[in-house]
């Protein structure tokens, strides 16, 4: 007896009943992931990472210094404090007094940590291939930058009261108080990015100068607008004709600072003084790079960097001995 051949399943010839290829879905997912990875690569390498360089970042214990927080940092930043007078308090101002001010040690730690995180992120990114960086490597750099933004937010939040106190002195017909506070907050954010914590000064002194300078510019702009558009209003025009606000320092104070800095430079060794003058353009010429000065003096650029660092340390000591920070703070 001949066995019957096994029956084969009937295959439909209609395209709609054809089975989906097994690998097509996974191929589409793979292509989507690759496209997303390329997008994140491009965004990461196009992102600017600005930080304040510090010689401490190159030392073996740099990570410990940027990680070990002072004891005060263990306390919560938000707490209850006496509120401002009722006639001047607004809901926004009231919330500012819920955040305590940072100590000098905390301030130094947070600025060091923020800039060290950015330095580490920039260093890691500099070692990556823009076309072959893996997702894990990208996430590592992004994580460092995200943590740096968190630290930056702490520094900004703890200094918002400073903006309010300065804004109260600049209220006029051109700018409402809320607008000034908003503008001052922007100046504060920029100050956090630009503050050189390695000099050992308090951030409030630096930020006060930057915020006041921004407000002076706004006041000048407002006066120019009043002169242009309200000249027909005699009473208002009289106010528009007021002289411009003086700069932060008087001519006598500026002259005193110049003489003091000249004395500081005289305390440096000749090569140290020449490098500081050339590096910061005190001779009226464009600032020179480490490489340019190294070529001129016949040494490597790292040696120029070391000499500059030693000179700046001496200048910081001289400034501390002369109580320069306190003097300028009293002027402002």
CA angle 316–322–323, rounded 5-degree value: 85
**Given this structure, which CATH class describes domain 249-332?**
mainly alpha
Q: 281 or 140: which carries more pLDDT confidence?
A: 140
pLDDT at 291: 86
pLDDT at 44: 94
Question: In sequence order, which ranges of the chain are alpha helices (DSSP H)?
Answer: 24-46, 62-65, 91-96, 104-126, 135-157, 160-167, 177-194, 203-229, 234-240, 251-266, 270-279, 290-297, 301-321, 324-331
pLDDT at 40: 93
pLDDT at 243: 40
pLDDT at 235: 45
DSSP state of 78: B
Q: 245 or 268: which carries more pLDDT confidence?
A: 268
Residue 329 has φ and ψ, to the nearest 5°, of -60, -35
pLDDT at 242: 44
* pLDDT above 60 (res 11): no
The percentage of residues in the chain with a pLDDT greater than 70, rounded to a whole number, is 78
Choose the most confident range, by mean pLDDT, from 133-147, 166-180, 235-249.
Answer: 133-147
Q: How many CB atoms sit inside 10 A of residue 52's CB?
A: 19
* pLDDT above 80 (res 328): no
For the segment 64-102, what is each residue's pLDDT rounded down to a tens digit? 888 888 887 777 887 655 555 444 557 878 888 888 889
Spell out the residues 6+ positions from residue 194 whose beta carbon is closer than 8 angstroms to its own: 52, 210
**Section 125-131 average pLDDT:** 93
* pLDDT above 50 (res 244): no
For the segment 203-222, what is each residue's pLDDT rounded down to a tens digit? 998 999 889 988 888 877 76
Mean pLDDT (the chain) is 80
* pLDDT above 70 (res 321): yes
Spacing of C-alpha 107 from chain mean position: 14
The model's confidence at residue 224, banded by pLDDT at 50, 70 and 90, is low
pLDDT at 223: 67
pLDDT at 18: 56
The lowest-confidence range among 12-21, 132-141, 258-267 is: 12-21
pLDDT at 2: 46
**Section 265-290 average pLDDT:** 86
Residue written as tokens 């500059």? Answer: 308
* pLDDT above 50 (res 231): no
pLDDT at 232: 45
pLDDT at 17: 54
For the segment 27-36, what is each residue's pLDDT rounded down to a tens digit? 888 889 999 9
Residue written as tokens 């005193």? Answer: 256
The model's confidence at residue 234, banded by pLDDT at 50, 70 and 90, is very low
Q: Domain ranges in the chain?
A: 34-158, 171-246, 249-332
For residues 197 and 55, give the distance between their C-alpha atoms in angstroms, rounded to a whole number: 12
SS3 230: coil
């Amino acid at each position: 007896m001949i066995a019957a051949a096994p029956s084969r399943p009937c295959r439909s010839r209609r395209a709609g009943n054809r089975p989906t290829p097994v690998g097509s879905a996974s191929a589409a997912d793979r292509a989507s992931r690759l496209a997303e990875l390329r997008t994140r690569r491009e965004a990461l390498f196009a992102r600017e990472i600005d930080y304040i360089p510090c010689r401490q970042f190159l030392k073996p214990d740099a990570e410990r210094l940027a990680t070990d927080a002072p004891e005060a940092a263990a306390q919560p930043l938000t707490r209850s404090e006496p509120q401002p007078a009722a006639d001047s308090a607004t809901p926004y101002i009231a919330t500012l007094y819920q955040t305590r001010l940072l100590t000098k040690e905390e301030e130094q730690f947070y600025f060091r940590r923020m800039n060290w995180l950015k330095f580490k992120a920039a260093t890691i990114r500099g070692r990556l291939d823009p076309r072959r960086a893996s997702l894990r490597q990208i996430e590592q750099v992004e994580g460092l930058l995200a943590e740096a933004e968190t630290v930056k937010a702490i520094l900004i939040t703890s200094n918002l009261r400073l903006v309010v106190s300065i804004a109260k002195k600049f209220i006029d017909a051109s700018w409402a108080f809320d607008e000034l506070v908003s503008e001052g907050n922007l100046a504060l954010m920029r100050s956090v990015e630009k503050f050189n914590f390695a000099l050992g000064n308090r951030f409030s002194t630096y930020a006060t100068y930057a915020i006041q300078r921004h407000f002076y510019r706004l006041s000048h702009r407002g006066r120019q607008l009043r002169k242009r558009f309200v000249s027909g209003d005699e009473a208002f025009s009289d106010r528009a004709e007021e002289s411009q606000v003086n700069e932060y320092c008087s001519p006598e104070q500026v002259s005193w600072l110049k003489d003091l800095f000249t004395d500081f430079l005289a305390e440096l060794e000749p090569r140290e003084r020449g490098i500081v003058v050339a590096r910061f353009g005190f001779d009226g010429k464009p600032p020179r790079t480490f490489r340019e000065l190294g070529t001129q003096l016949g040494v490597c650029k790292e040696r120029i960097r070391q000499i500059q660092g030693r000179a700046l340390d001496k200048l910081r000591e001289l400034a501390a001995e002369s109580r320069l920070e306190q003097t300028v703070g009293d002027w402002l």
